[in-house]
Amino acid sequence: MAKVTKTSLSVPVQVKIAGLGVLVVADAHVTTQGNGNPVGTVQFKDGNTNIGGPVPMTGGHATLIAFRPVGSHVTAVFIPANPAAFKPSTSNTVTVTGRNGDGDHGNGGGNTGDGGSHAGQ
């Protein structure tokens, strides 16, 4: 039976750069209860639009460094390498403001495993 995962997203760095938008450094952290570390990739998204391609995870983390416009809504979707071992999950949403610390919501996250995705509190 595949294990339920939780993906949390934090965006502690947001720097406005004239003419380019906001430089965003985002960290997705994927966890599961019990034994085993989730293995797979993370697809960062702005709404329903992919931001680049899937990013391989290292030590349960995947990092995005990209320019985004103010008002973007960034999420991270965990895509397991082995769906029989781990279930996919979607993170909390972080709104890009261009102010450092505004997007640091690492205690949020989403769980998947009962047929749907649930945003964490």
Q: CA-to-CA distance for 90 and 28, rounded, in angstroms?
A: 10
pLDDT digits (tens, 9 = 90+) for 33-52: 888 889 999 999 999 999 99
Domain layout of the chain by residue ranges: 5-98
Residue 13 pairs in a beta bridge with: 25
- Provide the edge-to-edge strand list for the sheet that holds 61-68: 61-68, 21-32, 5-17, 110-112, 117-119
Residues of the chain with pLDDT under 70: 100-121
pTM of the predicted structure, to 2 decimals: 0.82
- What pLDDT is recorded for position 36? 80
Fold classified for 5-98: Immunoglobulin-like (2.60.40)
